[in-house]
């Protein structure tokens, strides 16, 4: 059977502060600039979730994208949407909320939850110009 990758796009918005508490204020400012604003700032994030598998003879699907949407909402999006990533999201606790770290944290929650389907890529957009990808390596 042919293997196909299917992708669902979801959006959320969240506040954060990119800050490393182990560094001085001056170092944080030099490294993170306005992203280090102590009074937070927000982004409209876009998360693309890709699942790879064989096309089912019965359904013609790799995975029902409606079911994938519900699962991703429940596992990560609803837990981050309209939240502060530094203080309110349990799976982000103690993690500097850069886009890189958010995508890895989302993977750790989603990958086991999506099984037996196979999560093969997460792409997280923080702005129209910046995005990161993670394939679980």
Residues with active-site annotation: 35, 82, 126
SS (H, E, C) 8-29: EEEEEEEEECCCCCCCCHHHHH
CB of 91 to Ni ion, least distance (A): 18
Contacts 24+ apart (CB under 8 A), 60-68: 61/6, 62/4, 62/5, 62/6, 62/117, 63/6, 63/117, 65/6, 65/8, 68/6, 68/8, 68/114, 68/117
Task: Compose the 15-54 pattern: x for residues touching Ni ion by CB under 5 A, - for all others.
Answer: --------------------x-------------------
State the minimum distance, in angstroms, from the CB of residue 45 to Ni ion. 10
Question: Distance between alpha carbon 62 and the CA centroid of its chain, in Å?
Answer: 21
Residue placing its CB nearer to Ni ion in the complex, 35 or 113: 35
CB of 7 to Ni ion, least distance (A): 24
Q: Is 104 in the site for Ni ion (CB under 5 A)?
A: no
Using the minimum distance from each CB to Ni ion, give the nearer residue, 41 or 70: 41
Sign of CA dihedral 62, 92, 12, 100: negative
How many residues in the shown chain lie near Ni ion by CB under 5 A?
A: 1
Would you say 10 or 15 has its CB closer to Ni ion? 15
Rule CB under 5 A: which residues touch Ni ion? Answer: 35
């Amino acid at each position: 059977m042919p293997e196909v990758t299917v992708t669902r796009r979801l959006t959320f918005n969240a506040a954060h502060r990119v800050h490393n508490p182990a560094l001085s204020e001056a170092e944080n400012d030099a490294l993170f600039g306005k992203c280090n604003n102590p009074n937070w700032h927000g982004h409209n994030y876009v998360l693309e979730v890709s699942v790879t598998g064989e096309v089912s003879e019965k359904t013609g699907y790799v995975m029902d994208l409606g079911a994938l949407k519900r699962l991703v909402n429940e596992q990560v999006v609803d837990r981050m949407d309209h939240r502060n990533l530094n203080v309110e999201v349990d799976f982000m606790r103690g993690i500097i909320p850069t886009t890189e770290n958010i995508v890895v944290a989302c993977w750790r929650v989603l990958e086991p939850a999506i099984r037996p389907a196979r999560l093969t890529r997460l792409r997280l957009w923080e702005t129209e110009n910046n995005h990161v990808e993670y394939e679980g390596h």
